[in-house]
Structure 1
Amino acid sequence: MSKRFFSLFVSLLLITALFAGCGSKEETAATAEAPEEETGLPSGDVSLRVWGADEDEELVNQIISGFIKEYGSMANFNITFEAHSESSAKDEILGDVLNAPDVFTFADDQLMALVASGVLKKVENDSEISGRNLAAASDAASVNGTLYAYPLTADNGYFLFYNKAVISDEAVQSMDSLMAAAGAAGQKVFMEMNSGWYMYAFFGNTDMEIGLNDDGISTYCNWNAKYTNITGRDVAEAMAAIGRNPAFTCESNDGFVGGAADGTFAAGVSGIWDENGIKEAWGDNYAACKLPTYTVAGQQVQMSSYAGYKLVGVNSYSKNQAWAAKFADWMTNEQNQTLRFEMRGQGPSNTNASGAGAVAESKAIQALQQQAEYSSLQRVGGTYWDPAANFGTLMSQGNPSGKDVQVLLNEMVTEITGEESTGDLVTEEGEAAPEENKEEATEDVVEEATEETTEETTEEIIEETTTENSEENKQ
């Protein structure tokens, strides 16, 4: 009995062990499959093509190496960098969507076209991405409140550089005192008033408007308005007065940095791309701040600016879309935006990166952040640039022809909008409004600023945007 009982007992143990072994194998198999189920990231061979600026090749390859090191145990990666212009990325991608890259960098004014074409879809972890970036950068990557791209940089704007050995901190508060200080030292203030990108500074903080129509291509503009609190004539005359000042110039044989180095310029309007050159030219006397106010219609108005952002897009037609999104997330995280600043000098959109280390110590970045309150996204059509540049050139020269500035404004606005414009308020029927009704129709007035600057940020026109021929990106 005892032997029979012992044999039965051993048999039961063997059967139990057998079933336990099978269960263990099933658990192991389930565990091995868990990463894809939990992360949505497939294993196996993963190929990604990444487009970026030619100057970014070393940087992006370093970012790729870091990504493979971090996630190499999850898949077999083949990630390649291809140099392409960020300013024309939209045109190249829409020309051949199926052969376009998986991940690409581009200027924010191309966002609407990429969304409308279906190349960009909503970012899945949008709350996380928006939460770690500056609000303005997230807005630039969004259409109607939906995030479609990953913010990468927040530095394509302009502000004032000045030489503290010549210009005091008090003198940079207004254009009048700035030019007076420069002139007293036999030097000049430099600003490309003859460029539509910079000329916006004079109109952007008034109650006149410019932006894209609902078609996302054509431009509306009332910079010749006669009915606003600050009129187009007021701004044009203010610009011409600055242009006639002997301490002002928009021309330089050697560029702003060259003129700063040889003592021609004591101050100038430019961007972060000139920071290293200005540091070298002025040494410890190098300083930067927001743009000054300028005198218009008997008051001081804070100068505005255009702001631009670089974004990272994920091609919705990518065969490895999940990993492409993961790479875009990695490429734009705090660590890699800090690396981008260190290697390329480009200002981060990541909140933590922009407020720490060498980034926080950059006078140019600090000045850009000061100016951000008065900046707007560049949302204009291709018909804007030439007429604006032509008008700005005449004003920078003090309007040497003596032609009535209202006529010049009318010509500029007519070319920009493609519609005849006289600057009069037009009714819904297309007729000029009676004089007594013009004040009632005036939109929100510009806030006066003598010693205090306007607290209102110029509206960021995000919706319906396809900028066909935007002015060359400044970086």
Structure 2
Amino acid sequence: MKKHVIAAVAAAAFVTTAMAGCTGADTTAGGESVNGEPSVLQTEAVMDSTELSGDVAEDDGKVTLTVWAEEANFDVLQEMIDSFEQKYAGQADFDIQLAENADAETRNTLLGDVHNGADVFPLPDDQLTSMVAAGALEPVPNADEIREANLDEAVAAASVNDTLYAYPMTADNGYFLYYDKNYLTEEDVQTMDGLLAAAGAVGKKVTMDWSSGWYLYAFFGNTGLDFGVNDDGVTNYCDWNATEGSIKGTDIEEALLAIAQNPAFLSCTDTEFMEGVQDGTVVAGVSGVWNASEIKKVWGNDYGAVKLPTYTCAGQQIQMASFTGYKMMGVNAYSKHKDWALKLADWFTNEENQMLRLEERDQGPSNKNAAASEQVQAVPAIQAVIAQAQYGKLQRVGNSFWDATTEFGNLMATGSTNGTDPQEVMDTLVAGITQSTVQ
């Protein structure tokens, strides 16, 4: 059957009225409704685990399904679609279309027009609670089976109030350090100071995206300063402007400015990082497993991946932290062929297809058997995620975090506060992070 690849339609406007006070954030960001109790549009699970593998009467005949995905994943998903159609041949006339949509934009795009959204889609765990609160996700009908098959952390990340709302897919949605072994040694990559010195000595760059709070959190997470989302699931608490303690807010600011002033450092987007890898100007950068395949093509046997380095702050070496995360497959609660959509999402995330995703895209599986395989042990990027995870925190933040950290990160990347008092800079950051999002 001929497949159609279509472009996902960008939402004209986010559903601010319906979602006021109960949406989370952005970036490769989450939140619950006020008081932590999602206002969920209750939908019935129409099939149990036995029905999931059998015929679905209402779908006899033509079944049209749209699947959102990033273009880099089209090939592997098409393989899965082909095998799905072979398994269920004769039960329905399938027309399954792949549509391009960034995983980081799944929530915003879907909630902008849920009735015309994709039937099946991947999403990062931080988007789950606000999508559940909007009634956009169909609960997983064979939840016990899926819980048993997947890592506990991945199942927890796909659940709200003990209800499983999506099929766990990967357990690698974090970040770590890639490096080119042709220029950097294992000792060099242990510290940011060592990285920058070695890269600078050969006229190369070390990169990280400071315009994103997702990455910038790395400098605050293991300092003893505190940050998180309040019980309302919407607003944040934060003391990153602390003026007392072994590490103060201005100490971190000073450390960031020192890194930015080093000619070997470059704050740039993930896309620009990959462009630097390909043109040879970048020899190390902070990113995630989604770039593993392409980096391996460029660096070959010189491709290395390790936990994040330490950095110098207040005369100490501080281990850089990270947000940890998981990706999953969700099903639109308004799908016209909901039963088949659930079957397809389950198919995309079963053990066999998680292994296929590992082999073709170097993406770390959430399935217990797949995660324990020898193949996982052989992928440097996944091993780096595992090594970094002990210094990570599950991303749960209120929406105001993102704009505030972007403004702060962009300022730090210039290497100067432009004459603004250092404490004032930190106070402004915290005021932005903790501000109410309710108008």
TM-score (norm 1): 0.71
Aligned to 1:81, what secondary structure does the other structure show?
strand
Of 292, 303, 321, the match for 2:309: 292
1:350 maps to amino acid = N
Contact 1:198/1:305 (8 A) holds in 2 = yes
Contact 1:306/1:378 (8 A) holds in 2 = yes
2:266 maps to amino acid = T
Aligned runs of 1:315-354 on 2, under 5 Å? 315-318=332-335, 320-354=337-371
For residues 194-247 of structure 1, give each alpha carbon's deviation from its aligned partner in whole angstroms, at most 9, with x where no partner exists: 432221110122332333334443333322122455321221122222223343
Tell me the CA shift for residue 155 of structure 1.
3.3
Larger Rg: 1
1:45 maps to amino acid = D
For residues 320-349 of structure 1, give each alpha carbon's deviation from its aligned partner in whole angstroms, at most 9, with x where no partner exists: 544433322211011112223444444333
Contact 2:362/2:379 (8 A) holds in 1 = no
CA RMSD of aligned residues (A): 3.3
Aligned runs of 1:276-287 on 2, under 5 Å? 276-287=293-304
CA distance in 1 between partners of 2:160 and 2:138 (Å): 11
How many residues of Structure 1 are paired with residues of Structure 2 in the alignment?
A: 386
- C-alpha spacing 1:72/1:361, structure 2 compared with 1 (3 Å): same
CA distance in 1 between partners of 2:66 and 2:281 (Å): 43
For residues 234-289 of structure 1, give each alpha carbon's deviation from its aligned partner in whole angstroms, at most 9, with x where no partner exists: 21122222223343332599933443455543322222233344334433222110
- Segment drifting more, 52-61 vs 245-254: 245-254
Q: Within the alignment, does 1:255 sit opposite 2:291 as a pair?
A: no
Match of 1:42?
Answer: 56
- Segment drifting more, 366-375 vs 114-123: 114-123
Aligned to 2:80, what secondary structure does the other structure show?
helix
2:423 maps to amino acid = Q
Aligned runs of 1:31-430 on 2, under 5 Å? 41-43=55-57, 45=60, 47=63, 49-53=65-69, 55=71, 56-72=73-89, 75-85=91-101, 86-227=103-244, 229-251=246-268, 255-260=272-277, 263-318=280-335, 320-356=337-373, 358-399=375-416, 401-418=418-435
Contact 2:411/2:417 (8 A) holds in 1 = yes
CA distance in 1 between partners of 2:95 and 2:68 (Å): 13
- C-alpha spacing 1:266/1:80, structure 2 compared with 1 (3 Å): closer
Match of 1:445?
Answer: none
- C-alpha spacing 1:169/1:45, structure 2 compared with 1 (3 Å): same
CA distance in 1 between partners of 2:409 and 2:70 (Å): 32
Aligned to 2:172, what secondary structure does the other structure show?
strand
Aligned to 2:326, what secondary structure does the other structure show?
strand
CA distance in 2 between partners of 1:212 and 1:63 (Å): 37
TM-score (norm 2): 0.76
CA distance in 1 between partners of 2:423 and 2:229 (Å): 23
- C-alpha spacing 1:393/1:139, structure 2 compared with 1 (3 Å): same
CA distance in 2 between partners of 1:253 and 1:37 (Å): 42
List gaps (5 residues or longer) in structure 2.
1-48
Tell me the CA shift for residue 58 of structure 1.
4.2
Contact 1:212/1:220 (8 A) holds in 2 = yes
